[in-house]
Amino acid sequence: MYKFFPHTEEDLQEMLKAVGVKSVHDLFADVPEAALFKKDYELPESLSEIDLRLFFEQLTEPAYAQQLVCFAGAGCYDHYAPSVVQNLIQRSEFLTSYTPYQAEISQGTLHYIFEYQSMIAELTGMDIANASMYDGATATAEAAMMAWGNAKKATRVLVSETVDPKVRRVVETYAHFHGFPIKLVPAADGAIDRNALDKELAEGGVAGLIVQQPNYYGIVEDYTGIADALHDQKGIFVVNANPSDLAILKTPAEWGADVAVGEGQSLGIPMTFGGPGVGYMACVEKLMRKLPGRIVGQTLDNRGQRAFVLTLQAREQHIRRQKATSNICSNQSLMALYVTIYLSLMGKEGLREVAEMSYAGAHSLRDKLIATGKFKDTFPGQPFFNEFCVDYEGDLEALLDECTANGYLAGVQVGEKTLMLAVTEQRSTEEIDELVEIIQQFKEEEAKA
């Protein structure tokens, strides 16, 4: 007997008799002999709950999982979330349910997805959002496919070089196999090169353009005029936007985007070594039927009550098979719930406060790093939000090792000399000052000796 298996010997005998076989192995009599696995798996022996707990506790000791003060971003941010969020998403009615096909006993899930869609639509300014995607990278790849599928006579999809390279290579992968070319629009001074873009647009045949805001380097780019130029040739404008910053920043809709995508991890989701986060995807009404993924809509039940239900399913794989808008089935529903509860608590003011604090912290840290005399702005004069790049005069790897040794993750190295740092509302003035102090005190020669 094992704790997850309720079958007593008596149960087994009665059930086997009802089925008309002698042993459970007889249930596999239709499997060809050569396909049967008759050995023991080479796996550890069963652990009791006490031992299991101990096992994972050992793996989380500081030597194996060092808790660094995090100034790294690059697509994963250390934001705060109220305790309520994690507690509520652990409710088993949410946690242990599945896709809400049976609307009558799934109103909880359908209801929060409707709220989630509303919040994403509001943050991005778009008309309609889907029920979530795996992550920001795949959402961006889906947007590229959407642009390609929408185009009549296009020859390529453009991607700005200032889009996160990790996202870019997912887009490149999807495009390669789906069968359409990606053209990289180079960057100038940390932002999309408008001359290069103009040339591409003048050539024609552009199915769409993908940009990121703030871009990979943390710079808030000015995308004025791009949407109109794209729309002139029926191209689609895709803006990958950090939803947390949208409390302050111009919305994808205000930039004239047709599709908004991004990674929702910045909305308070713990970093958890990179996942689970949640991808979001929203679009203008005219592209509604081309949007991938689940969509929840409002309707009435036969008792006249407002109810929610999966809708526009004719786009989806379980109905359309190879003609579906995408192959996506499960998404990141529970993380969409996470974001919904987070945004309900933070609300209109809280998200702005988070943005202000992160902005203030990042700008203060940048000033202090420049003041050490050891750094220069990588992109002088470019506006940034809560993430920025600086060039270090010395051996950057040695400096980062020193910071790690002192319990600080000082950022992400994005070039030989270039360090990218992110600040969230969780970083106190003391932590910022201590990081600067460690850097100030660091003497390469001593480290080498």
Site for other proteins in 279-338 (CB under 8 A): 288, 294-303, 305-307, 309, 311-314, 316-324, 326-335, 337
Minimum Å gap between C-beta 345 and other proteins is 4
What token pair was written down for 138? 């795949």
Strand blocks (E) in 378-417: 387-392, 408-409, 412-413
Angle between helices 136-150 and 165-178 (to 10 degrees): 40
Q: Is 188 in the site for other proteins (CB under 8 A)?
A: no
**Which range of residues in 11-19, 231-239, 373-381, 437-445 is near other proteins by CB under 8 A?**
11-19
Q: Is 195 in the site for other proteins (CB under 8 A)?
A: no
Q: Closer CB to other proteins, residue 204 or residue 397?
A: 397
What token pair was written down for 333? 């529903």
Q: Is 436 in the site for other proteins (CB under 8 A)?
A: no
Task: Report the residue from 155, 195, 272, 441 that binds other proteins according to the rule CB under 8 A.
Answer: 272
Q: Is the dihedral of CA 47, 51, 56, 61 positive or negative?
A: negative
Cα angle: 271, vertex 272, 273; to 5 degrees: 95
Minimum Å gap between C-beta 199 and other proteins is 20
Rounded CA-CA distance 134/154 in Å is: 28
Note the Cα 345 to chain centre separation in Å.
Answer: 21
Minimum Å gap between C-beta 188 and other proteins is 16
Task: Report the residue from 188, 274, 441, 443 that binds other proteins according to the rule CB under 8 A.
Answer: 274
Task: Report the residue from 9, 37, 381, 445 that binds other proteins according to the rule CB under 8 A.
Answer: 37
Q: Closer CB to other proteins, residue 235 or residue 252?
A: 252
> Are residues 256 and 128 in contact, defined by beta-carbon separation less than 8 angstroms?
no
Q: Is 121 in the site for other proteins (CB under 8 A)?
A: yes
Minimum Å gap between C-beta 358 and other proteins is 9
Task: Report the residue from 22, 93, 195, 228 that binds other proteins according to the rule CB under 8 A.
Answer: 93
**Residue of 182, 167, 191, 170 whose CA lies nearest to 242:** 167
Q: Is 129 in the site for other proteins (CB under 8 A)?
A: yes
Before 214, cis peptide (omega within 30)? yes
Q: Is 354 in the site for other proteins (CB under 8 A)?
A: yes
**Which range of residues in 225-233, 355-363, 374-382, 434-442 is near other proteins by CB under 8 A?**
355-363
Minimum Å gap between C-beta 428 and other proteins is 7
Minimum Å gap between C-beta 174 and other proteins is 8
Q: Closer CB to other proteins, residue 59 or residue 202?
A: 59
C-alpha Rg value of the chain to the nearest Å: 26
**Which range of residues in 195-203, 346-354, 374-382, 438-446 is near other proteins by CB under 8 A?**
346-354
Rounded CA-CA distance 341/346 in Å is: 9
DSSP 46: P
> Are residues 313 and 293 in contact, defined by beta-carbon separation less than 8 angstroms?
no
Alpha helices (H) in 326-416, listed in sequence order: 333-371, 396-405
Mask for 231-270, x = binds other proteins (CB under 8 A): ---------------xxxxxx--x--------x------x
What token pair was written down for 373? 């005399």
Q: Closer CB to other proteins, residue 61 or residue 446?
A: 61
Site for other proteins in 380-419 (CB under 8 A): 383, 385, 400, 404, 409, 412
DSSP-assigned beta bridge partners for residue 308: 298
Site for other proteins in 165-184 (CB under 8 A): 165-170, 172-174, 176-179, 184
Residue type, 323: K
- How many other β-carbons are positioned within 10 Å of the β-carbon of residue 79? 20
Q: Closer CB to other proteins, residue 163 or residue 227?
A: 163
What burial class does residue 86 get, using C-beta atoms within 10 Å of its C-beta: 0-12 exposed, 13-18 middle, 19+ buried?
middle
Task: Report the residue from 9, 22, 32, 392 that binds other proteins according to the rule CB under 8 A.
Answer: 32
Q: Is 153 in the site for other proteins (CB under 8 A)?
A: no
Q: Which pairs count as long-range contacts for 32-40, CB under 8 Å and 24+ apart, including other chains?
A: none
DSSP-assigned beta bridge partners for residue 422: 387
Task: Report the residue from 203, 353, 416, 437 that binds other proteins according to the rule CB under 8 A.
Answer: 353
Residue type, 117: Q
> Are residues 419 and 397 in contact, defined by beta-carbon separation less than 8 angstroms?
no
Residues in the interface with other proteins (CB under 8 A) total: 210
Mask for 207-226, x = binds other proteins (CB under 8 A): -------------x-x-x--
